[in-house]
Amino acid sequence: MTKFQERIFSGVQPTGTLHLGNYLGAIKNFVELQEKYNCIYCVVDQHAITVDQNPQELRSNILEVLASFIAAGVDYQKQIIFQQSSVPAHSQLAWVFNCVSRIGWLNRMTQFKDKAGKNKENVSVGLMVYPNLMAADILAYLATHVPVGDDQKQHLELSRDIAQKFNNDFGVDFFPQPEPLIYGSATRVMSLRDGNKKMSKSDPSDFSRILLTDDDETISAKIRKAKSDSELIPNTKDALQNKPECLNLINILAATTNQSVEQVLGNYAGKEYSSLKKDLADCLVQVISPIRKEINNLLDNRDELNVILAEGTEKAAAIANPVIEEVYRIVGFK
Ligand code: TYM
C-alpha cells in the first residue's frame, strides 16, 4: 500500500496533427483510464520548442491537440486538460530536477541520440534536458501512473530515477515512483511504408501515417497502399517475425477492434492481405471519422477552447502549486 493517491498524468506535444500512433498508443488509453482514475492530460508546448517551431503554427497546434483530446472522448469537465506553459510549476520543478538528474543519465537517452544524430553539439540544450522537464510534468502532480506509447518507456524510467534520487538526496519520501502504463496491441504503431520505422509526425511521406484529420477516402487509400505481402496471412505471430509491415497492420486491426492479435490471426489466416486491408480501412474510418468531424467543430469555436484551457490551468495549478511550495521548502529555498 502506498501513501500516494492514484493519479494519471500524460502529455502530447503540439508539433503537428496527431496520427494513429498517438491515438492507439496513448489517447485511446487516456479515454479508458478516465473511467477509473483522476486524470491530467497536458498539451506540452514547452517540450515542442526543444526543436524549432513556427510560433503561429505552434499556437494553432496547441488548440488542435486540445480539440483532439476532447474529440477522442476525454471528459474535460471531470478531468483536467491544459497547456503546460500556463502552469509555471513545470518549469520551476524542471530546474530543480536539472540539478538532481545526471548528465550521464541523459546521455543514455536513445530518443536524444536519434533526434540529435550527428549534430549533437548543435542541438538545443532543451532537447538534452527534455526528460527532466518530462519528469517535472509528472511529479508536479505526484502522479502515480503514466499512459504512453512504447517510445516513452526510457523517459519514464528516468523520471523514476529522478524521483528516487530526490527522495534519497533530501532524506524524504516525497515523490512517488511513477509507473508507465504501456498496454494494448499497438504500443508501437509503425510506418505504413516501412515496418522498421515508427509512425511519426516527422516522416516525409504522408502515406506513412494516418492522421486524425484524414477524410474517409484518404484513410482507405493509405491502407490500400500500405506495404504488405503477396503470401497468404499465416496463423501464428511467429510467422510474421520478418514481415514487420504485415504484423503492423494486424496489430492496428487488433487495437482498433479491441481484439488480441491471436484473435485477428484466427479470423484472417489463409486469406489475402487485401481482404484484411479492406476491413481495416472500414474500421479505421468508423473510428476516425467522428473524431475528425468533432475536431473540426471544436476548432470552429476557438474562444470556447481557450475557456476550457483557462479552466484546466486553474485546476492544474491548484494541485501543482502546493507541490512546488513543498519542494522549495525541502531543498532549502524556504
Ligand atoms: P509525443 O507527443 O511524441 O506522443 C504522444 C503520445 O503518443 C505516443 N506515440 C506512439 N504510440 C504508439 N505508436 C507510435 N508510433 C507513437 N508515436 C507516439 C507517445 O508514446 C506518447 O505517449 N515526451 C512525450 C510527451 C510528454 C509526456 C510528458 C508524456 C511530455 N511530458 C509526461 C507523458 C508524461 C512525447 O514526446 O510524446
**DSSP annotation string for 261-300:** HHHHHHHHTTS-HHHHHHHHHHHHHHHHHHHHHHHHHHHT
- The answer to whether residue 195 is domain-embedded is no
| This model's pTM is above 0.95 | yes
pLDDT of 86 > 80? The answer is yes
pLDDT at 10: 98
Assess whether 145 and 181 both reside in one domain: yes
119 and 252 inside one domain: no
C-alpha 35/C-alpha 50 separation (Å) is 33
**pLDDT surpassing 60 at residue 276:** yes
Q: Is the dihedral of CA 30, 69, 76, 323 positive or negative?
A: positive
Q: What is the pLDDT of residue 119?
A: 86
Q: How far is the CA of 268 from the centre of ligand 1 (A)?
A: 31
Q: Which domain, by its residues, includes 242?
A: 206-296
Q: Residue 77 pLDDT more than 80? A: yes
**13 close to 41: Cβ distance less than 8 angstroms:** no
Average pLDDT score over residue span 113-128: 92
Residues 255 and 163 in one domain: no
Judgement on whether residues 145 and 220 belong to the same structural domain of the protein: no
Are 58 and 110 part of one and the same domain? yes
Any ligand 1 atom below 6 A from CB of 152: yes
Q: Specify if 260 maps to a domain.
A: yes
Mean pLDDT calculated for residue range 246-267? 96
* Residue 87: pLDDT band with limits 50, 70, 90: very high
Question: What's the whole-number mean pLDDT along residues 301-312?
Answer: 97
Instruction: Compute, in angstroms, the gap from residue 272 CA to the centroid of ligand 1.
Output: 33
Spacing, Cα 30 to ligand 1 middle (Å): 12
On whether both 100 and 28 belong to a single domain, the answer is: yes
Q: Residue 253: what pLDDT?
A: 97
> Are residues 215 and 321 both part of a single domain?
no
Q: What is the reported pLDDT for 1? A: 52
For residues 214-219, give the mean pLDDT: 98
Q: What is the pLDDT of residue 120?
A: 86
In angstroms, what CA-CA distances link 124 with 48, 58, 131, 136? 12, 18, 13, 19
Residue 293's pLDDT is: 98
Find out whether the beta carbon of 199 lies less than 6 Å from any atom of ligand 1.
Answer: yes
What are the percentages of helix, strand and coil residues in the chain, rounded to 5?
60, 10, 35
Is 193 among the domain residues?
Answer: no
3 state SS of 169: helix
Do 138 and 253 lie in one domain? The reply is no
Q: Output Rg (C-alpha) for the chain, integer angstroms.
A: 21
| CA 94, 27, 248, 201 torsion-angle sign | negative
State how far the Cα of 95 lies from the Cα of 135, in Å rounded to an integer: 11
Give CA–CA dist 100/154, Å, rounded. Answer: 17
149 lines ligand 1 (CB under 6 A): yes
Q: Is the CB of 138 under 6 A from ligand 1?
A: yes
47 in ligand 1 pocket by Cβ < 6 Å? Answer: yes
Closest protein CA for atom 33 of ligand 1:
10
Query: Mean pLDDT throughout 294-310?
Result: 98
C-alpha cell at 294: 468533432
Produce one character per residue of 108-129: b if its CB has 16 or more CB atoms within 10 Å, e if not. ebeebeebbeeeeeeeeeebbb
User: For the residues 178-190, what does the mean pLDDT come to?
Assistant: 95
Percent of the chain's residues with pLDDT above 70: 99
CA–CA distances in Å: residue 296 to residues 71, 124, 180: 9, 34, 32
Pairwise CA distance, residues 328 & 334, whole Å: 6
Whether residue 90 sits in one domain with residue 108: yes
Residue 270 burial (C-beta neighbours within 10 Å; 0-12, 13-18, 19+): exposed
pLDDT at 80 over 90: yes
Q: What's the domain count of the chain?
A: 2
Residues 25 and 136 in one domain: yes
For residues 37 and 117, state if they share a domain: yes
Per residue in 153-175, pLDDT (tens digit) is: 999 999 999 999 999 999 999 99
pLDDT digits (tens, 9 = 90+) for 286-295: 999 999 999 9
- Asked if the model's pLDDT at residue 148 lies above 80, the reply is yes
14 occurs within a structural domain: yes
Give the 3-state secondary structure of residue 304: helix
Ligand 1 atom nearest the C-alpha of 190 is 15
pLDDT attached to residue 3: 84
Cα 331 to Cα 54, 96, 103, 178, 328: the distances in Å are 37, 9, 20, 21, 5
In a domain, 120, yes or no: yes
Percentage of residues in the chain with pLDDT exceeding 90? 96
For residue 220, give the CATH number of its domain.
1.10.240.10
Question: Does the beta carbon of 13 lie inside 6 Å of ligand 1?
Answer: yes
Task: Indicate if the pLDDT at residue 52 is higher than 70.
Answer: yes
Distance of CA 233 from the midpoint of ligand 1 (Å): 31
The mean per-residue pLDDT over the stretch 141-149 comes to 98
Within a domain: residue 151?
A: yes
